[in-house]
Amino acid sequence: MQTALARELCEEFLEDVYALPHGEKLKQCLQCGTCSASCPSSAAMEFGPREIIASLRAGMLDRVLNAKTVWLCVSCYSCSVRCPAGIPLTDVMYELKRLEVDKGLAKDAPGETMAHAFAETVDRYGRNAETTLLRKYFLRTNPLHALAQIPLAIRLFVRGRLEILPRKIKGLDSLHKMLAAIEENGRR
Amino acid sequence: MITTASPACRYGYYPGCSLMATNRAYDISTRSVARELEVELVELDDWNCCGATAYLPVREKRAFVLSARNLALAEQNGRELATVCNACYVVLRKTNKYMAEDSHLRDDIRQALQAGGMDYSGNVRVRHFLEILVNDIGEARIKARVERALSGWKVACYCGCQLSRPFDDLDHPEYPQLMERLVGWLGAEVVPFPLAAKCCGGMAMTTHPETGQVLTGKILKVAKQRGADCVATACPLCQINLEAYQDKVGRAVGAPCEIPVLYFTQLIGIAFGLPPAALALADNLTPLEPLLGEKVTS
Ligand code: SF4
Ligand code: SF4
Ligand code: SF4
Ligand code: SF4
């Protein structure tokens, strides 16, 4: 599908990428494939970072968003440090994830569920605690999978390594004011 | 009276959320080692989560504000901020860098901080404790403190990805050396370990277990193949991934993956002759008895 609307969305998205620090370098991609070859997750991706860039440049944002690729990115920065054109690919992947979050396109992606559970916990307490995070995550994905975590939870518990709730920071009000102040500026 | 000039040995300290419970052994051993080396770590008062890798895909600027609040706290009493979590290290440094490079972003973030009664002018240097030990404290001071050299220990030094990526100004981005040098000073034998900066999969262990298990499995498998009898880590999430799922990842890669995993700070503490409780060795999920030749109790 190559509708005018999809094309327009893609161009809009590319403008956002160019606005990232060093984002303009995306225009200089050589299609050498170094990034995909360096990516620890590429075996599990439908297609790797090189093809993402090719698709974006061809105006095929929808192809990228439909593929199970962006949420498999683990932010290891291998592609970014190896790219001969200096393209901040990890940041491009983050921007794609944010686009999916924004447009509500990533609803079943486990990575997205995790990211949201994380952000909510931090927003609420100012800190994160693994127990809260994983409880939210498994409730929203597959609660049965939580059962598989019980043996590990017990091993951690007997060692005193489980914290049931995050400790709220004292400056939570002031933190909330800061987050409210930044919110006004779009997706980034 | 003239006292010997002591090099800059006071640092702000940002432990990060993981170190509050799940990885408290990392916090405990870090503080113990610092104390022994007369390095003062001053914990930031009322720090918040840095946002890690998981907040960035939701909102970037909010993530930067979370980090910037910590940098603002650090700026209130010093210029140097130490962390032991690779993710915290990268996110805090990245916030610094992007604030310096992008004046619009800087203005937005500062305005947000001011709305909450704080400010940050950009003068804090973010550092990983590992690099502080190697570059600031140095070989002589560390060797001088070794009481029980780790002779006969074969260590695979696993740095993880974000310690030298994307910021590769302090170590090689793919074949990092800092941890190997440090572990060598403790008298241990460092096994050649080409996977030192390969990713363990991070959160994929939970969100995409098939992928995470293979990535972690390769690291443990190769460490064993290279003859290591333990793996040293420098990141709380790496530690959990490497120590907690060894049976599953062994099945995923079809090779034995059981091997003791310790924080590099615990390794230092053992070489310094510190008691197990000062390093919280009883917290570790992998058995350390084969290495220590004694039972670990807290
Ligand atoms: S490594 Fe860089 S230049 Fe090569 S294909 Fe990937 S993004 Fe393009
Ligand atoms: S940062 Fe993401 S896309 Fe790049 S190599 Fe790592 S996992 Fe792959
Ligand atoms: S990266 Fe992990 S440890 Fe660091 S502050 Fe954030 S949640 Fe906490
Ligand atoms: S190796 Fe894994 S846990 Fe460690 S820094 Fe990289 S992604 Fe994070």
- How far is ligand 2, taken at its centre, from the CA of residue A66, in Å? 18
| Res B2 pLDDT > 50 | no
Predicted pLDDT of residue A165: 72
Query: Which residue from A minimizes the CA distance to B52?
Result: A118
Judge whether B42 and B12 are in contact, CB under 8 Å.
Answer: yes
Question: Where are the domains positioned within chain B?
Answer: 7-127, 147-292
- To the nearest whole angstrom, how far is the Cα of A1 from the nearest Cα of chain B? 26
This model's pTM is above 0.80 = yes
Query: Which residue from A minimizes the CA distance to B168?
Result: A81
Strands B125-128 and B80-83: parallel
Where among A54, A70, A103 does a domain terminate? A103
Chain A residues near residue B100 by CB distance under 8 angstroms: none
Fold for domain B147-292? Answer: Rossmann fold (3.40.50)
User: Is residue A10 domain-shared with residue A93, that is, in the same domain?
Assistant: yes
Mention every residue, 6+ apart, whose C-beta is less than 8 A from residue A178: B65, B69, B112, B113, B115, B116, B118
Give the phi and the psi of residue B50 in degrees, each rounded to 5.
-75, -10
Token pair 């940050």 is found at B120
Judge whether A82 and A38 are in contact, CB under 8 Å.
Answer: yes
| Res B143 pLDDT > 60 | yes
> Which atom number of ligand 4 is nearest to the Cα of residue A74?
7
Alpha helices in chain B (DSSP H): 24-36, 52-55, 60-75, 86-101, 103-115, 129-132, 138-145, 178-185, 204-207, 209-225, 236-244, 246-253, 264-271, 276-279, 289-292
For the record, the structure tokens of A90 come out as: 């990890």
- To the nearest whole angstrom, how far is the Cα of B137 from the nearest Cα of chain A? 29
User: Is residue A144 domain-shared with residue A75, that is, in the same domain?
Assistant: no
* CATH number of this structure's domain B7-127: 1.20.1050.140
* Residue pLDDT, tens place only, B30-61: 999 999 999 999 999 999 998 877 778 778 88
Q: What's the angle, vertex CA B249, arms to CA B243 and CA B253, rounded to 5?
A: 140
User: Is residue A83 domain-shared with residue A146, that is, in the same domain?
Assistant: no
With an 8 Å Cβ cutoff, is B225 touching chain A? no
Query: Which residue from B minimizes the CA distance to A188?
Result: B60
Predicted pLDDT of residue A76: 93
Would you tell me the crossing angle of helices B103-115 and B86-101 to the nearest 10 degrees? 110
Could you tell me the end-to-end alpha-carbon distance of chain B, in angstroms, rounded to an integer?
A: 43
Judge whether A6 and A62 are in contact, CB under 8 Å.
Answer: yes
User: Is residue A81 domain-shared with residue A150, that is, in the same domain?
Assistant: no
A188 assigned to some structural domain: no
Would you tell me the crossing angle of helices A89-103 and A4-18 to the nearest 10 degrees? 130
Predicted pLDDT of residue A131: 75
Q: Residues of chain A whose pLDDT is less than 50?
A: none
* Residue pLDDT, tens place only, B210-250: 899 999 999 999 999 999 999 999 999 999 999 999 999 99
Chain A residues near residue B112 by CB distance under 8 angstroms: 178-179, 181-182
Contact B54 A118 (CB under 8 A): yes
User: Is residue A75 domain-shared with residue A13, that is, in the same domain?
Assistant: yes
For the record, the structure tokens of B277 come out as: 């409780």
How far is CA B237 from each of CA A8, B16, B233, B241, rounded to the nearest angstrom?
40, 12, 9, 6
Average pLDDT value for residue range B183-212:
93
ipTM for this model: 0.86
User: Is residue A79 domain-shared with residue A144, that is, in the same domain?
Assistant: no
- Strand, coil or helix: what is B142? helix
Q: How many domains does chain A have?
A: 2
A140 assigned to some structural domain: yes
User: Is residue A97 domain-shared with residue A138, that is, in the same domain?
Assistant: no
- How far is ligand 2, taken at its centre, from the CA of residue A35, in Å? 8
Task: Print the domain residue range for A157.
Answer: 110-183
- B 119-158 → A contacts, CB under 8 A: none
Q: Residue A83's CB: how many other CB atoms inside 10 A? A: 23
With an 8 Å Cβ cutoff, is A165 touching chain B? no
| Res B3 pLDDT > 60 | no
- Strand, coil or helix: what is B42? strand
* Residue pLDDT, tens place only, B97-136: 999 999 999 999 999 999 999 999 999 999 999 999 999 9
